[in-house]
Structure 1
């Protein structure tokens, strides 16, 4: 157990020796997303946290250990969220895909900027590239398993899983500036194209409800301290 776990992860104030491990990780995540991995440096983070650089070594052996923590956080949030969402029971494949998309697309669930930042990092590190490839494979297999549960043949399930994954991830990477009203207005067509099954009124409504619920939750969530 880390020291900040024993302290409940609570912030103890700013200044030398007054940060938690969670503070360092959060500052590193924000820096990774905003400026890239090259700027995730102990001195830069200490300045951001307004504390002594030496306090970093109370929680981490070195910068490499901090970077490993960032990858672990990414896996535990984004990858595990998608795997869990794909495994949730649903009455039909359209309900299943709808709840998966809602968790992925709505802010507050899947961390889109973090995923993009890790992929940019992977261009500079073979080890991170392997982690990203492994994560992609794990996510796509979870999607394929979801399709197989609803009777899709193995080969078709794998192809539809890739289409679903690349569609949603491409949407994020392109940073489409489309309103949620417009996007949700196309839900029936999206579901049909992704699953090959005509979406009923209840399936379309469930997707819209889940997205709006996640959006409302994200708006109410407290902003992390930087």
Structure 2
């Protein structure tokens, strides 16, 4: 889990605030993100956020012109983190297709790369907003395109690359949505079999060992400081 403090003032590594400033723009965004994930977009209100941070709501307008601008900033952050991370992992160098899929699966185990709870919050938001639905559709299309290109890079024909990209992507969405209470050991035991199903190729033992070690570091030691 990511243990980074939500508020700037609670982070011992943060530079001290000066003057009468008690919170930063990122503080507003971080708390808004927390509320979006836990309570839904309807509760992302200026007064609610101000109460959580114990500050005057007037300070909100130092950073945002309106609640809508804050909501837009939340969507921008989602795109710049989750969507960008998945695409970057799909494009990361790899010697084999199974190693490439392991790169993508780093998004599954490292919350600093990809915040699954945020993704689900945005998907729930999209049910209530046509604008967000369109953004989500565009994001899904970009992610799938990156995965399709990943398979094509390793010689898969167009239809097969498209099909395998869809299986990989939508399986992971469903897997996360199921919220399985699955021990780490069980999940890691299945990794080589998942890789074979996704790719039709037997993974190398060293690829499994490297990914398993990475997953254990993320899940047991916290993922916020684990590199991609």
TM-score (norm 2): 0.88
C-alpha deviation, 1:102, in angstroms: 2.1
C-alpha deviation, 1:147, in angstroms: 0.3
C-alpha deviation, 1:110, in angstroms: 1.0
| Alignment match of 1:83 (pick from 80, 87, 93) | 87
Counterparts in 2 of 1:11 and 1:115: CA distance versus 1, 3 Å: farther
Written as runs of structure 1 = structure 2, the 5 A alignment for 1:137-216 is 137-216=141-220
The alignment yields a C-alpha RMSD, in angstroms, of 2.1
| Alignment match of 1:12 (pick from 17, 23, 28) | 17
C-alpha deviation, 1:199, in angstroms: 1.8
User: Distance between the aligned counterparts of 1:122 and 1:182, measured in 2?
Assistant: 33
For the pair 1:52 / 2:67, whether they are aligned, the reply is no
Unaligned stretches of 5+ residues in structure 1: 222-226
Counterparts in 2 of 1:156 and 1:129: CA distance versus 1, 3 Å: same
Q: Which residue in the other structure is 2:69 paired with? A: 65
Q: Which residue in the other structure is 2:135 paired with? A: 131
Question: Which range is displaced more, 192-201 or 78-87?
Answer: 192-201
| Alignment match of 1:99 (pick from 96, 99, 103) | 103
User: Which structure is richer in relative contact order (CA contacts within 8 A, separation 6 or more)?
Assistant: 2
C-alpha deviation, 1:206, in angstroms: 2.3
Q: Which SS does the other structure have where 2:160 is aligned?
A: helix
Q: Deviations over 1:143-202 (max 9, x none)?
A: 000000000001110110000001111111111111111000011110000001112212
User: Distance between the aligned counterparts of 2:187 and 2:57, measured in 1?
Assistant: 46
C-alpha deviation, 1:105, in angstroms: 3.1
Contact 1:97 1:191 in 2 (8 A): yes
Unaligned stretches of 5+ residues in structure 2: 1-7, 9-13
User: Distance between the aligned counterparts of 1:64 and 1:11, measured in 2?
Assistant: 29
Q: Which SS does the other structure have where 1:171 is aligned?
A: helix
C-alpha deviation, 1:219, in angstroms: 5.6
Q: Which residue in the other structure is 2:5 paired with? A: none
